[in-house]
Amino acid sequence: MSALRMRRGGIRVVAFAVAVAVALLIAPAKLPAAADYFDGYTDTLYNQGGGISSGGIDWVYPWGDGGFGQSAYIVDGAIGPVNNYLSFSPYAEFTLDSFAPLESIRSFTPQSNDNALYIYALVSFHGTPGQDSYGGLGLYNNGDEKFLIGQRYNSTTWGVETQNLNGAGMSSTVPLGDFTSTLLLARINQFDNLLTFWVNPDFGLPASDVTNTPAFTFDYGPGVDDLENVRLRGGNVGNGNKWQFDDINVTLDSPFAPEIPEPASVATVVLGSTAHALRRSRRCQ
């Protein structure tokens, strides 16, 4: 084998090692996740069992409800986008007439002791916030509501309620709007009892980007925070308000773009990989 060919082989090995090292730094492995985009659904959410799951968070049952007439209806259309996060047809919708509140329920693999459980969805509100109004994504332990991510009771802005923990819910400064597509994200740290809330984050950027500054973080106390079902909620009966939902996600995988590694970190991994590759190349000679 000529020296030229050996040098070229060494260069190719080094280039491959550099590419792998950088890829490992910026492309973390996928973590457990469950999502439901309502693909293929018709009529109402009741008894619909689609969606996707991976890695240990699974949808346990199809969609149910809190009683007759409390399931969201399926609508052919989309309610997004928000910061390039898209909604595709169909979506779920419910109008609060005089009959019943919205209470569509779906169970997932129980989650406890997670240091970063992400729940997010596209949500839209239409109506009058002050008429005994509330709604959004309810997170439950069996029948015990732990968090309501959306509209706190009679609030005019997006926020989080924790009525069965320490009551330390908070509101953001972002108004509900009227038929305004909104991306809501909560990150729950079940180790430290902390909840962080974003309104309209940009998943194309890292979480550390100033654009993705959270609306708030608060300590919800040491109560039981195990979670095992999500509910699309809206009330109260007869206020005429309308709620729309799409892209329900429960995941341990951060939806934000990967953090860009510090140059020193990249250099360390690259140099280590390069040295290893050179040693292998020399052995081949």
Q: 163-190 pLDDT, tens per residue? A: 777 677 899 999 999 999 999 999 999 9
Place of tokens 């082989």: 9
Q: Give the other-Cβ count within 10 Å of 22's Cβ.
A: 15
Give the model confidence (pLDDT) of 23-32 as tens digits.
434 444 556 8
Predicted pLDDT of residue 81: 93
pLDDT digit string (tens) for 63-112?
Answer: 999 988 899 999 999 998 999 999 999 999 999 987 789 999 999 999 99
Same domain for 223 and 91: yes
- My answer on whether 269 and 245 are in the same domain is no
Instruction: Please spell the DSSP secondary structure of 55-76, one letter per residue.
Output: TTB-B-S--EESSTT-SPEEES
Residues 99 and 215 in one domain: yes
How far is residue 199's CA from residue 214's CA, in Å, rounded to a whole number?
8
Cβ(220)–Cβ(194) under 8 Å? yes
pLDDT in tens, 125-143: 999 988 889 999 999 999 9
Q: Is the pLDDT of residue 50 over 50?
A: yes
Q: What is the pLDDT of residue 263?
A: 61
Do 229 and 278 reside in the same domain of the chain?
no
- Domain identity same for 238 and 279: no
- pTM listed for this prediction: 0.82
pLDDT at 30: 55
pLDDT higher than 60, residue 11: no
Is 62 found in the same domain as 10?
no
Is the same domain home to 162 and 211? yes
Packing angle between helix 263-284 and helix 3-26, nearest 10 degrees? Answer: 150
Domain shared by 181 and 98, yes or no: yes
For residue 272, what are the domain limits?
1-28+263-285
Using the Cα atoms of residue 38, residue 43, residue 48 and residue 50 in order, give the sign of their dihedral.
Answer: negative
Q: Does 283 lie in the same domain as 240? A: no
CA dist., res. 8 & res. 239, Å (int): 74
Q: What is the percent of the chain with per-residue pLDDT over 70, rounded to a whole number?
A: 80
* Rounded distance between C-alpha atoms, residue 226 and residue 111, angstroms: 6
Regarding whether 280 and 193 lie in a shared domain, the answer is no
Indicate the pairing of strand 117-126 with strand 242-251. antiparallel
Q: Let me know whether 11 and 115 are in one domain.
A: no
In degrees, to the nearest 5, what angle opens at C-alpha 29 toward C-alphas 267 and 213?
A: 80
The count of structural domains within the chain is 2
Asked if 188 and 274 sit in the same domain, the reply is no
Q: What is the CATH number of the domain that holds 203?
A: 2.60.120.560
